[in-house]
Amino acid sequence: MNTLWLAQDPAPAGGLTRTQQLLADDPLWLIILKVVALFAIGVVLTLFMINWERKVVGRMQQRPGPNRTGPGGWLQSLADGLKLAFKEDIMPVMADKKVYFIAPIVSTIPAFVAFSVIPFGGEVSIFGEPTVLQLVDLPVGVLVVLACSSIGVYGIVLGGWASGSPYPLLAALRSAAQVISYEIALGLSVVGVVLYAHSLSTADIVASQQANLWNVIVLLPSFVVFVIAMVGETNRAPFDLPEAESELVGGFHTEYSSLKFALFFLAEYVNMVTVSAMATTLFLGGGSIPGLPDVSGWWQFLAFLVKMFIFLFVFIWLRGTLPRLRYDQFMRLGWKVLVPVSLLWILLIFAIRAFRNTGGSTAALIITLGIVVAVVLIIAFLVPDRKGPREQVVELASDYPVPPLDLVVPTPSRHKLRSRAAETRRSRERALTGKETE
């Protein structure tokens, strides 16, 4: 039995691919087993990621991190989860009770649903039943992941609104604006992958990378935009503005406690695992191993996990090294950098493919476009700026509340100085008189 990704090999019946045919033949017990396995992977990776993050950040800050609970401290996150389960569930008086209860569930369920279309490996045999390490292969699998990440923000918005407190509401509004901004960049970064794979199916995208180079090499700008956007999409540092503790107490979940708070925490880390798995699928060839085309599906699953953990380490690395962005800087990065770069890159991909289809040379087209971009950049740097340095500083600081640069504190008059001195003298005399009376 061939253990390659066979998503593009048509099956004899119904026009289905090999992967789709195997998934369609899965018995009910195997489907239930896959669902339970996906849920277990999400929960176990969350417990592992919390502890791993604390240990790595502690190492970066030259401190031990968790080292008491369990062997090497690796059961600390499990102990924290059990502690949350037994903590008192406090609900604010002004909260909308129904929405307050539903919001954490709305955040958690889409994070697990997105797991269903991720191809973790190739064809395997489970208890004698041939299948694929994937729950379902949809023709629009990429759109399912994007839709789930968009729906998850409803839980954050509803949680902040239903808390009946101003700070969670402000954090929820920030989250809505953040997801809208970075969801656009995330979706545009996937367009190039879809154009090269000629499919929205995640299995087909992996199969196309096995036949050619990985997309991280061919579509490097799309990969960079995707990685930046997925950090903003998951509300992780340095883009964790909805949870800005220094500005909004604890963010949208300030008024949550016990298991409801744990569900928000679970949703965040499961989303991290989901976008890391999606980045592996779209740009690193899924579970394929270079130079080993005939490796079994279980080895592909192991290779998939290794690639996914690389992205998860990047999340931790960013949190331990970069400071939180200011909100206007964060939104400017999304709208004025990521979105225009993605649009220009998509136009370049269309131009290259159209030029290649007409029989032209791709190298000549790339050289021509490079010369045009270089000329535009040179002109942009040579054009003099008519504004002085002071006006530039004022313009840069105008979108954030700062005091005026020409602020001068007036010197008080002699009369005010004499009045202050007399008032100070009388205060001291009253204080001394009070002590003598006592």
* Per-domain residue ranges of the chain: 18-325
Task: Give pLDDT tens digits for 341-354.
Answer: 888 888 888 877 77
Q: Long-range contacts of range 39-43, CB-CB < 8 Å, 24 or more positions apart? A: 39/112, 41/115, 41/273, 42/111, 42/112, 42/115, 42/266, 42/270, 42/273, 43/266
Instruction: Say what the pLDDT of residue 179 is.
Output: 83
8 Å CB contact between 219 and 196: yes
Instruction: Say what the pLDDT of residue 24 is.
Output: 87
Instruction: Say what the pLDDT of residue 245 is.
Output: 60
Instruction: Say what the pLDDT of residue 408 is.
Output: 65
Instruction: Say what the pLDDT of residue 402 is.
Output: 57
Kindly report whether the global pTM for this prediction surpasses the value 0.85. Answer: no
Task: Give the Cβ contact number of residue 199 at 10 Å.
Answer: 20
| Positions in the chain whose pLDDT score sits under 70 | 1-15, 244-248, 293, 360-363, 365, 376-377, 379-410, 434-438
Task: Give pLDDT tens digits for 167-199.
Answer: 888 888 888 888 888 889 999 999 999 988 888
Instruction: Say what the pLDDT of residue 438 is.
Output: 56
Instruction: Say what the pLDDT of residue 405 is.
Output: 59
8 Å CB contact between 157 and 165: no
**Amino acid found at 375:** V
